[in-house]
Structure 1
Amino acid sequence: MPALFIRMIGCYTSLTLQQFRSFGQTLLCAIAFLLCSSSRIVAHPISMSTAVADIYQDRVQVELRILTEDLMFYHSIEADGDQLLSRKNLLEAAEAHRAFLKKYFRVLDKTGQTIEGNFTRVDTQEIPEEGVRLDQVMEVGVFYEFHILLEDIPQYLTFTQNFGGDDSPVPAVMDLIMLQNGARLDFPVQIGPRSPHSVAIDWENPPRNDRMYWRERRDLMKKRREELLGITSYSSTYAYIYVEPFEIRFEILVPLLTLETWMPMERKEKDFLSVEEQEGLRSPLEKYIRSHCEGLVDGIEVVPVLSHLDFFSLDIRDFASRSEPRSIGMQNGRAGIIMTFSTKGKPASASIEWSGFNDYTPMLNTMVYMMDGTGERHFFTENEPRWNWQTKEEGLGEIAWLTLPQAPQQAVLSVSPVSMTLAGVAGLFLLIGSAGRKRAALWSGVTALVAAGIVWPVTVVEISHPWEKINPPSIDQQKMITEAMLKNVYRAFDYQQDEQVYDALARSASGTFLENLYLQIKKGLIVQEQGGARSHVREVRWGSAASVTSDSSEAAFELNIRWEVTGTVEHWGHIHTRQHAYDALIQIVAEDGQWKIGGMDVTSEEQLKSSTGLRNAA
């Protein structure tokens, strides 16, 4: 028996009986093959093989155990009259099978490129001299040693097999057992034509064969789950539903090979999807979504919008991060799909129905997050394809704005420069006429005075009253007004549509400063490293304020202020938190009896906190 298989058995025999039993049916089958069970199994048309891969920093050593049943099927060996496959024919087929395995069994790097290797040895000792009876073809095997040299220390590897090609009439299943430096890396897995297996390799904490390692494994797996942001399997499909004010998001992270079973994916290269081909998938994918996904919000049907479509390779851990467009490998690439259902306000009820099921996606395991609550698990299946939600809260609807005190009305004086000029001229004529007893001057004065009265209504203007001074609010009132207005400004960005945000800001900003304020706040909420997503404001914390208002007769004041904003961006079950502090000179003015922001000059911005973690589950 080859060395890797012997070493693999040693890895398992060092464990407790309870741990051994937990490996499940896959491992038991593999051990049964290795021990060459004497049970009589009638051959059937399915390829069953075993691979043990030992990963080192400079190489990968793979030993494959191929049943003689495969040699019979793939190389068309016929039995003689005694139902025997001759040793000579099996040895010839075993040698020819090298090229078959090199073509259909592959090890890929993190980009999806095949890492070339060579078969260094074929072990046919299990084949007896008299040949193999047909009822023994699943008991007798051939061992192949496959050696791969690595140029770089591997961080990720993908193992895949597609025995016989896409049109092979023989289904193929392979049990894959992985070692790292001779120690068992993980539990055995099965790989097939559309189910490759990718693994992240930890060189700082490599596995060991002693029993203490498996006691430490729980902590290591918990740490790994946090590092991978909860997305620990590279071949699984993950789904999430977020119920938030003004939108409901349905997010699916799906392997490309699985996505190809949903819809055709035309491409020039079989193993890669180019940037242009990725962009070309948006339109047909949106059509697929709209035919397989239906949504209701508050009893009204809402058509899902494909708001994001991104493609990720193995080395992407944060799926909300922006990555440069590049060709993605089909065997280990994934697509991130975000569907959005818009709402008019905080929804009271919602439902989503998903019908995109097939043999590769028999169900959709989904985490659901309602507002700021903990996550709940939901399973979409053909029998239960609908998710329903009804809020238990009351009073949901529009955003609750903070109330501000009424701004004082500025005292004004009505004047008409034209009427005042005519009145002055009239007074002069009347004075001249009275002194010189000139009737013409008197009539001119009367005419000018009448004209002054006639033009008054159409020429009158209002100016600030020069003698009635309005004092600005007290310092404490100024701080209270400014804090409430600032929080209202950020609440306006709870709306998703820019037009809605702009309209909501109008209650807090002067008309001349409205556009500048909108652009200024929006820029501060954009998280560039998260693909330009706008963060959701969780908290606006008031810091300090100092008045710089000089004596004025106008209802206005200025403050030097400092405040902190905590915002989050959530996707794929994890949450990005950013906290910034700002210093600014802000001007508050009174318009039509309401306080408004007339100007704001941000003098400094400081990032206080940046973290990424998992969203809590129930």
Structure 2
Amino acid sequence: MDLRLREDPFPKAGAADGSAVPDLLQLRDENGHIFAGRMESLAKASPVQGSMDVPFYGAKIHFPVRGNPDTLTLVPTLAPGQKLGIVVSHRGVPLADLGELEAPVRLRLDWNDPWRSRFDDPGRLRRHSAPRSFLYVEPYEVRHEVLLRLEDLAPYLRFKPGDPQNLSTSERESLKRAAGDFLRAHNPLRINGAAVEAQLDRVEFLRFGRQGMQNANDAETLHPASALVGTILVYLTEAPTETVELQWELFGPDLERRPVTLYFGRESFEFEATPRDPVFRWSSEEALGLAPEIERPASAAEDGRGVPVIGLRTAAAAVALLTAAWFARRRHPVLACTGLAAAGAAMLFPQLLDPVGQPEARTMAFPPPQVRTRLEALLHNVYRAYALRGEEASYDRLAMSLDGPLLEQVYLRQRKAVLARNQGLGGEGRVSRVEMLDDGLVIRKLGASSFEVTGRWIAHGAVSHWGHSHERHTLYAARMVLSIAGDGTWKITAMDLLEGQPSPSARS
């Protein structure tokens, strides 16, 4: 039993000798037999370390139980008005989230499958009621976090544990490789209507802790019947995600439904895949607009204000033709010929009437808000490239935002430095959003299709695994050179990082 005890109902907890159990809880079987408990550990924690707003004690109590009882009843013995917060796990599987125990509750235990153990009280549920899928829609990528029981994967991997009570280190490593290869080829994902190849980010064995899902280290016991395998698949895109379609394929006697949660900015969308309805579909049109929008690059057929250039050329030619016809009717052949020549020039030589379409003019057409939006997407893409494990995938991802010597410089010389800087996000942290700041944004034209931008941004980082997120924010400033290709693609070709520090406005 893992207990959190407020200081007021147990003021002398620090004097406990470990042999006696405080009069807080009784554990009884179906015959009414009471099992004696023994204190294993007791430590006082501050409000900063825990979720309570007052000092509390964390205690672990061991209750030796005879055999494998089908049911156990927890009976609180606190004085009236006192409350006991408790978490119960069966072989590492939590039967409910942390909650108050104010009245007796009965547990039903399934010793063959701990995932089927439960409280009789329907109000006591764990947040992750079953292994599930988490989809994260981010600029230029969708991340699929697949959480599965080892028992659900074992038949596909043709795996049988050597020890039914614990997975060996060699078994764990072999299973990680096999699970990653298997899941990359199953449960296909379509983004914006097209199938996208999955890139394997990582595979981990997980366990439940107070803060949610946590990595299980090699020294921990992993019961094959309750072990969890977490696999993260990354799908890269060249345009913002408008639609997502996930087809879940893994169903069986013990896996008849698959909960799916999609996160888009601060919004979440729920679905439950079944053999009859195995496809989860999502569109950005369903969102309420709580996620930052990523502006699409202007095509060659649009100017910096989103006006169709072809439409301007056609209109100019039409006006010239009408003018020529009018002069012809008035018997002015010279002026009529001039009008016809102007119409031909409008269609055959668009650069004469379309200075905005030229690279040099295009750099002057983008206002600061549009430059800011583009830079947010480009920089986010650079940050995300460093979270990819494969060298080829990382390089290809960087090439979407960087070009010229800067691409090689960042990949070959600055990779370790940026990774070390990102360790401030907590090892598994990743930048989830880049926010360019309006103040201090300076844009200076350099030449044809290139300009210099000096600005500051906040990298909003997060550890967002398995439905939980912890934020971290860092302020950066840099001087960058941006170039625009003929097809309207923006890329950063030079960068001088000026500073990087925690954002004062975002410190927790």
Deviations 1:2-46 (A, max 9, x none): xxxxxxxxxxxxxxxxxxxxxxxxxxxxxxxxxxxxxxxxxxxxx
User: Given the alignment, which residue of 64, 86, 93 partners 2:29?
Assistant: 64
Shift in Å, 1:590: 9.8
Matched, 1:535 2:428: no
Given candidates 251, 256, 271, the residue that maps to 1:378 is 271
Q: SS in structure 2 opposite 1:357?
A: coil
Is 1:148 matched with 2:37?
yes
Q: CA deviation at 1:595?
A: 11
**1:580 shift after superposition:** 1.4
Note closer, same or farther for the CA distance 1:160–1:364 as it changes in structure 2 (3 Å cut). farther
Given candidates 212, 234, 243, the residue that maps to 2:137 is 243
Q: Deviations over 1:170-229 (max 9, x none)?
A: xx843544537588969999x99x996556768xxx64569xxxxxxxxxxxxxxxxxxx
Superposed, 1:193-342 pairs within 5 Å as 197-198=94-95, 207-208=101-102, 232-233=126-127, 236-254=130-148, 266-286=160-180, 288-289=182-183, 293-302=187-196, 304-315=198-209, 317-319=211-213, 325-330=218-223, 334-342=228-236
CA contact (8 A) 2:87 2:98 kept: no
Q: CA deviation at 1:267?
A: 4.0
Q: Is the 2:153–2:179 contact (alpha carbons within 8 Å) kept by the matching residues of 1?
A: no
Whole-angstrom distance in 2 between the partners of 1:269 and 1:64: 29
Q: Is the alpha carbon distance of 1:592 and 1:499 closer, same or farther for their aligned partners in structure 2, counting shifts above 3 Å?
A: closer
Q: Is the 8 A contact 1:274 1:327 kept in 2?
A: no
Is the contact between residue 527 and residue 535 of structure 1 (CA under 8 Å) also seen in structure 2? no
Shift of 1:152: 0.6
Measured at CA, do residues 305 and 533 of structure 1 come closer, stay the same or move farther in structure 2, by a change above 3 Å? same
| 2:501 maps to which of 605, 610, 616 | 605
Q: Which runs of 5+ in 1 are unaligned?
A: 1-54, 67-142, 165-171, 211-230, 405-476, 548-555, 613-618
Check the 8 A contact 1:525/1:534 in 2, yes or no. Answer: no
Change beyond 3 A, Cα 1:495–1:149:
closer
Q: In structure 2, what residue type is equivalent to 1:144?
A: H
Residue 358 of structure 1 is matched in structure 2 by 252
Question: Which residue of 379, 382, 398 maps to 1:493?
Answer: 382
Compute the displacement of 1:251 (Å): 2.2
SS in 2 for 1:293: coil
Superposition deviation, residue 294 in structure 1: 3.2
* Structure 2: tracts of 5 or more residues without a match: 1-19, 43-57, 105-124, 287-292, 305-365, 386-392, 444-449
Tell me the CA shift for residue 274 of structure 1.
3.9
SS where residue 346 of structure 1 aligns? coil
Shift in Å at residue 281 of structure 1?
Answer: 0.9
Letter in 2 for 1:340: V
Deviations 1:381-437 (A, max 9, x none): 1222222234549xx999537999xxxxxxxxxxxxxxxxxxxxxxxxxxxxxxxxx
Which residue of 422, 431, 440 maps to 1:544? 440
CA root-mean-square deviation: 5.6
Give the 3 Å change call, closer, same or farther, for CA 270–529 of structure 1 in structure 2. farther
Render the CA deviation track for 1:454-476: whole Å, top value 9, x for unaligned. Answer: xxxxxxxxxxxxxxxxxxxxxxx
Report deviation, 1:240.
2.0
In structure 2, relative to structure 1, the CA distance for the partners of 1:341 and 1:57 (3 Å cut) is farther
- The aligned amino acid for 2:76 is L
Q: 1:273: Cα distance to partner?
A: 2.8
Letter in 2 for 1:602: L
Q: Which residue of 1 aligns with 2:76?
A: 179
Per-residue CA distance 1:540-570 (angstroms, 9 max, x = gap): 21443799xxxxxxxx999986543334453
Partner deviation per Cα, 1:216-265 (whole Å, 9 max, x = no partner): xxxxxxxxxxxxxxx94476324322334433333233455666677665
Does the aligned pair in 2 maintain the 1:59–1:150 contact within 8 Å? no
One-letter code of the match for 1:339?
L
User: How far apart are the structure 2 equivalents of 1:180 and 1:495?
Assistant: 52
- Shift in CA distance, 325/546, structure 1 to aligned 2, threshold 3 Å: farther
Q: 1:266 to 1:236 in 2, by over 3 A?
A: same
- For 1:482 and 1:248, the matched residues in 2 are separated by 24
The amino acid of 1:246's aligned partner reads Y
- Matched letter for residue 280 of structure 1: S
Q: Secondary structure of 2:382's match?
A: helix
260 and 157 in structure 1: CA distance in 2 versus 1, 3 angstrom threshold: farther
> Would the aligned equivalents of 1:313 and 1:334 in 2 still touch at CA under 8 Å?
yes
C-alpha separation in 2, matches of 1:583 and 1:479: 16
Question: 1: distance between equivalents of 2:22 and 2:97?
Answer: 13
CA distance in 2, matches of 1:564, 1:590: 23
When residues 389 and 494 of structure 1 are mapped into structure 2, their CA distance, relative to the original with a 3 A threshold, is: farther
SS at match of 1:250: strand
Residue pair 2:382, 2:397 contacting (<8 A) in 1 also: yes
Shift of 1:151: 2.0
By how many angstroms is 1:317 displaced? 1.8
- Rounded to whole Å, the distance in 1 between the matches of 2:501 and 2:262 is 35
The number of equivalent residue pairs is: 370
1:85-100 pair list within 5 angstroms = none
Give the whole-Å Cα distance in 1 for the aligned partners of 2:277 and 2:193.
19
Cα–Cα, structure 1 residues 240 and 488, in superposed 2: closer, same or farther, change >3 Å? closer
Deviation of the 1:481 alpha carbon: 11
Q: 1:276 to 1:600 in 2, by over 3 A?
A: same
Question: Is the CA contact (8 Å cut-off) linking 1:538 and 1:568 kept in structure 2?
Answer: no
Distance 1:527 1:495, change over 3 A: closer
1:503 has 2:399 as partner: yes
Contact 1:587 1:600 in 2 (8 A): yes
- Which structure has the higher relative contact order (CA within 8 Å, separation 6+)? 1
Partners of 2:21 and 2:37 within 8 A in 1: no
Note if 1:388 corresponds to 2:277.
no
User: In structure 2, do the counterparts of structure 1 residues 598 and 238 end up closer, same or farther at CA, with 3 Å as the change threshold?
Assistant: closer
- Residue 502 of structure 1 deviates from its aligned partner by 3.2
Structure with bigger gyration radius: 1
CA contact (8 A) 2:135 2:261 kept: yes
User: Following the alignment from structure 2 to structure 1, what is the Cα–Cα distance between the partners of residues 177 and 70?
Assistant: 35
Q: Decide whether the 8 Å contact of 1:274 with 1:326 is kept in 2.
A: no
Kindly tell me: are residues 597 and 350 of structure 1, through their superposed partners in 2, closer, same or farther at Cα, counting changes over 3 Å? Answer: closer
Letter in 1 for 2:440: S
Q: Using the TM superposition, name which of 383-392 and 55-64 deviates more.
A: 55-64
AA aligned opposite 1:579: H
Aligned with 1:383: secondary structure? coil
Letter in 1 for 2:30: R
Identity across the alignment (%): 18
